[in-house]
A and B are shown apart, each in its own frame.
Chain A
Amino acid sequence: MVASDAKDFIVCEGVKKWFGDFQVLKGVTTTVKEGEVVVVIGPSGSGKSTFIRCINRLEAHQEGTIIVDDIELTNDLRNIEKIRSEVGMVFQQFNLFPHLTVIDNITLAPLWVRKNPRSESEQIATELLERVGIPEQADKYPGQLSGGQQQRVAIARALAMRPKVMLFDEPTSALDPEMIKEVLDVMKELAKSGMTMIVVTHEMGFAREVADRVLFFDYGEIVEDGTPEHFFTNPQHDRTKLFLSQIL
């Protein structure tokens, strides 16, 4: 649970974004507090992935403001690199570096971006592999691992930078049903440890169990914003009701 006096970590004000003429985000305004776990759900093409990709500027928003840890995201390269090193991200397709071993995947950024000594980076990496449950895979290449193991390596890789917030972009969508659980278990453990998290997912069970808050996106807007209890049992908006009736 989030302390009531927790600091606002991510503040979005009227964020708008277009792909060509098509408006993906139509003025998103929301705040994420430190330690909060926010789950973003919504139909395909509703702009939820674009929204979290704006938070570490993999996509540039065109109007509105995004402030992460008191730094505003602008075109200033130094701000972007600073924010990126504090915001961890996990992708749907894992995006591990196929030419590097698991341990090198994890230590690369701490070594060269954080400038940590190698021994320290390797120690952290070993601890993280322990934490995500695959310490024995350290010297393998990503191609030799299962999807679930790859995604856990990707989580460890993001955590190795000691981020203050973690973004998850549909982390289980590319996995076999048998492997979804092992990734969700890691994410649950992470949420319990107090990490600030924004998770785009279709896993309703995860949302119900772990989320502090659920955002429902549709047509580039936040339609519903509330606790999981409120969201699943007493949705206000017709669109939300329709969505829930189709998936539950």
Chain B
Amino acid sequence: MTDRIITTDISETPPEPPPRSTAHWIRENLFPSLGSSVLTIFATGIILFGVSGLLNFLMNPARRWDAVTFNMRLLMIQAYPVEQFARVWVSVGIVFVLLGFSLAVYRVGGKISAHRLGQTVMTVGISIGGAFVLGYLNLQPFFNIDPGGGSVTPKATVIAVVVGAILAAIGWGLTRVKNPKEERIPVMAVVGVLLGLVIVAMWTVKLPVPVADNEVVYQNVASSTAIPWTVIIILSAVGYVVGLLASRSMGEKAFAIVRRTLVALWVASFPVIVLVILRDPEVDMGKTFGWYLPLALGFGLIGGALLFYLAGSKAGEAGRAIAALIVIVAAVSFFFPMEFIVRFLLVSLAVFALGAHTFGGEGSARRAYLTVWGIWVVVLVYMIALVATPSTIEVPGSFFLGGLFLTFVLAITSIALSFPLGVLLALGRTSTMPIFRIMSTVYIEVMRGVPLITWLLVAFLMLPVALPQGVELGGVMRAIIFMTLFSAAYLAENVRGGLQSIPRGQYEASEALGMSTVQLTVFITLPQALRAVIPALVGQVIALFKDTSLVTIVGLFDFLHIARQVIPNQSTPFNFLGSIRETLIFAAFIYWIFTFTFSRISLRLEKKLGVGER
């Protein structure tokens, strides 16, 4: 439109920064003033003594690391029957293959320069060598976590120093290649090399395995994990390559479909893994074809026909009346005995009927609405049917999963369920309708005002009394319900913060276009609010993941419970009594790996979603 006259560009490139010596850098950054110098020396002391003490503690011959390695299966999945372990590996395999494929499709990991990679490798090498030297020196001036000390043997120190020196040399070599600052090494290639090393390590590195009390031999990682892990890692690499080829060769439109399918696969993978693969339900064909299938078909088709009418623009006032009628029917259904699945379906139909006018229309919108209804009915019936079918996996105790798998089931289910509830509560709290506002506020304040551990005790001591006769909920289910309710209250407050950050003009613009309150919320305010609070939401996810460890108090065999209660009390087949420090250190390490990954993902999400921000 406007023609711009561009004058001759006279801008210059910025001047090269003057070269700085290392001594100069140290003086400027570590010892700039007297106060800072004192702090630097103090902090260095803490790091040196800490590393030395920790290493001596970890390497002390008194440590029973065999308690961890011997019980790895117990820590991961508790008492899952060994002859059914193929199910566990298939589950892990699905997740890894999806992961590999997604990493390629979403183009995770850019390229780094040889210089940067070299520096990282050098740092790792120097750290390993340095740590062992510090350990060998056995600096323990004022705390004595390793009585006797001197656990880091000269042999181990020499090996570590040699390995560290080799790494440092490789790193130094990398910084000296041609054009070291050019970013040309793909991060994922580095990851691939590391995974290759992991495979090699699995076949060569030896772990302590007890043969008698207080007597261990070092054996290769049991072949029961080395083979499946090798296969899984190779498969995920194949998934990555396939994803890479797809993203390069496919057109924009076809690729968008691939991405959408991938999201659907991720969403579906969790219930399929837990409810179908791991749980192996005992499907009752009679009930499936005689009850669930007709139910899904009936609701899908009759409800679909009704919604088709309601979603059309001609329904008008009559449509609203019918929608209101369905709501009443759904409400009344709770006063009559019937299977819960029917009530769920009726309530769903009522919600869809109410939204039909807002989200319907002619053509594509109407079809899309009906499609969503169809998918919802199928998913709902399928899930309820699966949960209601007994499992064929025979496990001592109440639930078929334990250990890290149970921790994940608790965390993922609670997060997934608390999300919609939290958003609804946030909308209720910011609503202009006093009844919703007061109810949401009271709920949030009560839920947040009581510790989660108290709610878990309520779930186990009081909930069974409060439930209607004939309804029984397993321990895991009760824990999930209360963790969901608790987490939703916190989520709601985060989302509310996001909602309040939306400028007034957004509301005015939407209202001026004639949007209804529901449309305004769904299309304008909620998407922006959720984007604004992603860091807080991920913080919430991390907190909930760690909070799952509280279920140990009500006797569920989650990861921490096994590490804290089960293994340290083991006396057969080997005596691991009192090995709690080893198991807890291992547990802390595993929790850290996952929470650290979450926070990295959050950083990436923040950057990615920042694109369209003003």
**Contact B528 A98, beta carbon cutoff 8 Å:** yes
Q: For residue A98, which residue of chain B has the nearest CB?
A: B614
**Residue B362 CB within 8 A of the other chain:** yes
A142, B505: Cα distance in complex, Å: 14
Selected contact of B527 from candidates A99, A134, A142, CB within 8 Å:
A99
From A56, A101, A117, A143, contact of B614 by CB (8 A):
A143
Instruction: Give the docked Cα–Cα distance between A96 and B505 (Å).
Output: 9
- Is B508 a contact of A112 with CB atoms below 8 Å? no
Going nearest first, the 9 A-B pairs with the smallest beta carbon separation are A85-B514, A115-B361, A95-B509, A141-B612, A117-B363, A95-B505, A109-B513, A89-B512, A84-B514
Q: Does B266 contact A (CB under 8 A)?
A: no
**Residues of A contacting B513 in the complex (Cβ-Cβ under 8 angstroms):** 84-85, 108-109, 113, 157-158, 161
Shortest C-beta distance, B613 to chain A (Å), equals 6
Produce 1/0 per residue, B286-313, CB < 8 A to A: 0000000000000000000000000001
Bound CA–CA A56/B531 (angstroms)? 30
A to B CB contacts below 8 Å, 7 in the list? A58-B508, A58-B512, A91-B505, A97-B509, A112-B365, A134-B1, A178-B2
Closest A residue, CB atoms, query B2:
A182
B478-536: which have CB < 8 Å to A?
503, 505-506, 508-516, 519, 523-524, 527-528, 531
Q: Is B43 an interface residue (CB 8 A)?
A: no
CA distance A71 to B113 in the complex (A): 67
A53-71: CB near B (< 8 Å → 1, else 0) gives: 0001010000000000000
Interface status of B164 (Cβ within 8 A of chain A)? no
Known: A84-B511, A113-B514. A142 touches B614 (CB 8 A): yes
User: Bound state CA distance, A167 and B487, in angstroms?
Assistant: 45
B359, B505, B527, B614: the one contacting A112 at CB < 8 Å is B359
Establish whether residues A161 and B514, one from each chain, have CB atoms under 8 Å apart when the complex forms: yes
B residues in contact with A12, CB < 8 Å: none
Q: Are A113 and B509 in contact (CB under 8 A)?
A: no
Question: What is the bound-complex CA distance between A154 and B523, given in angstroms?
Answer: 17
Q: Is the CB of A113 within 8 A of B515?
A: yes
Q: Are A84 and B364 in contact (CB under 8 A)?
A: no
B402 interfacial by beta-carbon distance below 8 Å: no
Decide: A111 and B361 in contact? CB cutoff 8 A. Answer: yes
Q: Could you tell me the distance between the alpha carbons of A99 and B527 in the complex, rounded to whole angstroms? A: 8
Given A111-B361, A112-B359, A142-B614: A99 in contact with B528 (beta carbons within 8 A): yes
Give chain A nearest CB distance to B150 CB in angstroms: 61
Is A116 positioned at the interface, with any CB of B under 8 Å from its CB? Answer: yes
Contact A112 B506 (CB under 8 A): no
Asked if B611 is an interface residue, CB under 8 A from chain A, the answer is yes
Within 8 A of B (CB), among A128-186: 133-134, 141-143, 154, 157-158, 161, 178, 181-182
Bound-state Cα–Cα, A80 to B514, Å: 8
- B210 beta carbon closer than 8 Å to chain A: no
A99 to B510, CA, bound (A): 14
Task: List residues 363-391 of chain B with CB under 8 A from any CB of chain A.
Answer: 363-365
Assess the B363–A118 pair: CB atoms within 8 A.
Answer: yes
Q: In the docked arrangement, what's the CA distance between A113 and B514, Å?
A: 7
- A77 and B519 CA atoms in complex are apart in Å by 15
- Looking at the assembled complex, report how far the CB atom of B341 sits from the nearest CB atom of chain A, in whole angstroms: 32
For B222-249 the 0/1 string (1 means CB < 8 A from A) is 0000000000000000000000000000
Q: Confirm or deny: A127 has a beta carbon within 8 angstroms of a beta carbon on chain B.
A: no
| Interface assignment of A13: CB less than 8 Å from any CB of chain B | no
- Whether B523 lies near A112 (C-beta < 8 A) is yes
CB within 8 Å of A: which B330-366 residues: 358-365
Contact yes or no, A118 B614, CB < 8 A: no
* A93 contacts partner chain B, Cβ-Cβ < 8 Å: yes
Closest to B609 in A: A99
CB-nearest residue of chain B relative to A100? B612
Q: Which residues from B are CB-within-8-Å of A118?
A: 363-365
Give Cα A1 to B168, complex, Å.
83
**Nearest CB in chain A to that of B364: its residue:** A118
Residue among B359, B513, B519 with the highest chain A CB neighbour number at 10 A = B513
User: Does the CB pair A97–B506 fall under 8 Å?
Assistant: yes
B-side interface residues toward A, CB under 8 Å?
1-2, 313, 358-365, 503, 505-506, 508-516, 519, 523-524, 527-528, 531, 611-614
Complex contact A117–B528 (CB within 8 A): no
CB-CB nearest in chain B for A167: B512
Please report the C-alpha to C-alpha distance between residue A142 and residue B503 in the assembled complex, in whole angstroms: 15
Q: When chains A and B are docked, how far (Å) is the Cα of A82 from the Cα of B360?
A: 17
Taking A97-B509, A115-B360, A181-B2 as given, write out 20 further A-B residue pairs in contact, using a Cβ cutoff of 8 Å, ordered by the A residue number.
Answer: A58-B512, A81-B516, A84-B513, A84-B514, A85-B513, A85-B514, A91-B508, A98-B612, A99-B528, A109-B514, A109-B515, A112-B359, A113-B516, A116-B361, A117-B363, A118-B365, A134-B1, A142-B612, A142-B614, A158-B512
Query: Is the beta-carbon distance between A108 and B511 smaller than 8 angstroms?
Result: no
Q: What is the CA–CA distance of A32 and B345 in the complex, to the nearest angstrom?
A: 53
Let me know if B509 and A115 touch, CB within 8 A.
no
* Chain B residues whose C-beta falls within 8 Å of the C-beta of A182 in the assembled complex: 1-2
Known: A117-B363, A117-B364, A141-B611. A95 touches B514 (CB 8 A): no
Is A81 a contact partner of B514 (Cβ separation < 8 A)?
Answer: yes
Give the residues in chain B near A97, CB-CB below 8 Å: 506, 509-510, 523-524, 528
Please indicate the chain B residues that have their CB under 8 angstroms from the CB of A116 in the complex.
361-362
Min CB–CB distance A115 → chain B (angstroms) = 3
Interface string of A203-235 (1 = CB under 8 A from B): 000000000000000000000000000000000
A81 to B515, CA, bound (A): 7
Q: How far does the alpha carbon of A182 sit from the alpha carbon of B2 in the complex, in Å?
A: 7
Q: Chain B residues near A158: list those with CB within 8 A.
A: 512-513
Instruction: Given the known inter-chain contacts A113-B513, A141-B612, please indicate yes or no for A95 contacting B506, CB distance below 8 A.
Output: yes
Nearest chain A CB to B502 CB, angstrom units: 10
Most B CB contacts (10 A, CB to CB) among A101, A109, A154 go to A109
B527 contacts which chain A residues (CB < 8 A)?
A: 99
Chain A residue nearest to B312 (CB atoms) is: A115
Nearest opposing residue in chain A for B360, CB measure: A115
A101 to B527 CA separation, bound complex (whole angstroms): 13
A117 — which chain B residues lie within 8 A by C-beta?
361-365
Which chain A positions have C-beta within 8 A of B524? 97
Residues of A within 8 A of B358 (CB): 112
Looking at the assembled complex, report how far the CB atom of B103 sits from the nearest CB atom of chain A, in whole angstroms.
26
Q: Do residues A111 and B365 form an inter-chain contact, with CB atoms below 8 A?
A: yes
With A56-B512, A85-B514, A182-B1: A112-B363 Cβ-Cβ less than 8 Å? no
Which residues from chain A contact B359 at a C-beta distance below 8 Å?
Answer: 112
Given contacts A89-B512, A91-B508, A113-B515, contact A133 B523 (CB under 8 A): no
Q: How far is the CB of B525 from chain A (nearest CB, A)?
A: 10
Which residues from chain B contact A141 at a C-beta distance below 8 Å?
A: 611-612
User: Complex: how many Å from CA A116 to CA B527?
Assistant: 23
**Shortest Cβ distance from residue B67 to the other chain A in the assembled complex, whole angstroms:** 51
Contact B515 A115 (CB under 8 A): no
**For the complex, what is the distance from the CA of A181 to the CA of B3, rounded to whole Å?**
12
CB distance from A118 to the nearest CB of B (A): 5
Complex-state Cα separation, A72 to B2, whole angstroms: 42
Chain A residue at minimum C-beta to C-beta distance from B505:
A95
Chain B proximity mask over A102-131: 1 for CB below 8 Å, otherwise 0 = 000000110111011111000000000000
